[in-house]
Amino acid sequence: MELIILVSVLVVLLALGVPVAYSLLGSAMATFLALDIPLVVVFQRMAAGVSVFTLMAIPFFIFAGDLMYRSGIAKRLVEVAEGAFGRTRGGLGLVNVGASTMFGAVSGSAIASASAMGSTLMPLMRERGYEGDYTVNVTVTAAIVGLLVPPSHNMIIYSAASGIGVSIGDLFLAGIIPGIMTAALLMFVAWRVAVKRGYASGAFPGWRSFLRALLFAVPGLLTAIIIMGGILSGIFTATESSAIAVIYTIAVGAFVYRTLGWQRFSEAAMQSVKITAMVLLIIGAATAFGYALAILEAPAQLADMITSATSNPILVLLIVNVILLVLGTFMDMSPLIIITTPILLPVVMEVGVDPVHFGIVMMLNLGIGLVTPPVGSVLFVGSAVGKVPVEEAVKTIWPFYGALLLALMIITFIPAISLALPNLF
């Protein structure tokens, strides 16, 4: 009965348009009242959920990404990508994917990538004859790559939610090859759609201009190398690397690019505080919701249902992927990671799935939910920036969905793609 209350209240609140964090809190509080548990326990669980040392990396990575954006790194990455891909038919679509991949390596945020690439590239694409729905579809799906390439703060959330201390360094390494592969598939689709629509080719700016753009972009791209190098060498932890990333970004923006003044620094700080507050509120609320699920033994019941149906790893992963894809269309990524990881990770580990591999599967799977209505936060951001109705963009986004789903299946059933680099290092 209490489980019905928990789920029903959540569904009703979400249907009424209540923000995800408050919907999770409301359903948890209703369940605790039904169980005659003091409501103070809800807030105790919220506090416990955000009082995790590794989560300190999230605000720093968010801050570093915003500083990079305001320092003009997005524009410099676009120049590099345009030199590399701009000559092909519909080259700006490939430029968008390439620049989003590189920006993801310094921001780790899909929303930041969609906003940065959208504001930088969408106007240029429209000027050169690209239709609005195409610009939005390329931008929002390419932004998902930022969830796979390090540093991704959602991987940090997954590590904290796993309960077994999954290595953040291994997760960062595991996302590199899947990220590159996903970007390549999206580039192929972007090219095919561009050819079908008859978009024009661009012009190569010349090696001198290309190498100059690459040289100016290198200081920004070094952020990801410094982060990974420091973690792998043992010089600093993943949490410490986030603070170092902020210091390095400030130095690059202020003294190398000379575009980061006090005003832009203040704007980045304010925006990062707002985003961090929202993320941590969602994590705390999701922790309280997950505690209610644990009291009701819902995780154990779901695990028994899956394992009693099949013990075949392929079928188990298919079932888990379907569950996550469905849930991802109704709820944002961070709370789903907090809620579903303690439930699904033991199930897949029981059939022999590596927790690092499963983390990458979860990143891409739930990332697809970010570009899928009715929640689809990245899709809504991209549509708002591109000034294209969501309904119009969704009508033609299916080839890009196909690329993401194909990447998900490859990553799911070929673990070596994710585990090659962690095993190597």
Highest mean pLDDT, choosing among 61-70, 159-168, 194-203: 159-168
| Structural domain boundaries in the chain | 2-424
pLDDT at 384: 84
Residue 20 has pLDDT above 90, yes or no: no
pLDDT at 403: 96
pLDDT at 398: 94
Paired with 201 in beta bridges are 89
pLDDT at 411: 97
Query: H helices of 51-149, where?
Result: 57-70, 73-85, 91-107, 110-127, 132-143
Tell me how far apart the alpha carbons of residues 222 and 237 are, in angstroms, rounded to a whole number: 18
Distances (CA, A) of 237 to 128, 169, 240, 359: 45, 8, 5, 19
Tell me how far apart the alpha carbons of residues 22 and 12 are, in angstroms, rounded to a whole number: 12
Tens of pLDDT, residues 293-315? 888 877 778 777 887 888 888 89
Tell me how far apart the alpha carbons of residues 88 and 99 are, in angstroms, rounded to a whole number: 15
Lowest mean pLDDT among 223-237, 261-275, 401-415: 223-237
Tell me how far apart the alpha carbons of residues 48 and 277 are, in angstroms, rounded to a whole number: 16
Query: H helices of 296-352, where?
Result: 298-309, 313-328, 333-350
Tens of pLDDT, residues 214-260? 888 788 778 778 887 887 777 888 788 888 888 988 888 888 888 88
Cα three-residue angle 387-389-390, rounded to 5 degrees: 120
Tens of pLDDT, residues 28-49? 999 999 888 888 888 898 888 8
Tell me how far apart the alpha carbons of residues 137 and 127 are, in angstroms, rounded to a whole number: 17
Distances (CA, A) of 269 to 100, 109, 162, 282: 22, 16, 30, 20
pTM of the full structure: 0.87
Highest mean pLDDT, choosing among 3-7, 251-255, 401-405: 401-405
Tens of pLDDT, residues 78-111? 777 777 776 777 778 888 888 888 777 766 678 7
Residue 355 has pLDDT above 70, yes or no: yes
Tell me how far apart the alpha carbons of residues 179 and 173 are, in angstroms, rounded to a whole number: 10
Distances (CA, A) of 392 to 194, 385, 397: 17, 14, 9
- From the centroid of its chain, how far is CA 40? 32
Supply the mean pLDDT for the chain. Answer: 85
pLDDT at 204: 66
Instruction: Find, among 411, 419, 320, 333, the residue nearest to 368 by Cα.
Output: 333
Q: Catalogue the E-assigned strands of 171-317.
A: none
Residue 65 has pLDDT above 80, yes or no: no
DSSP helix/strand/coil, 240: helix
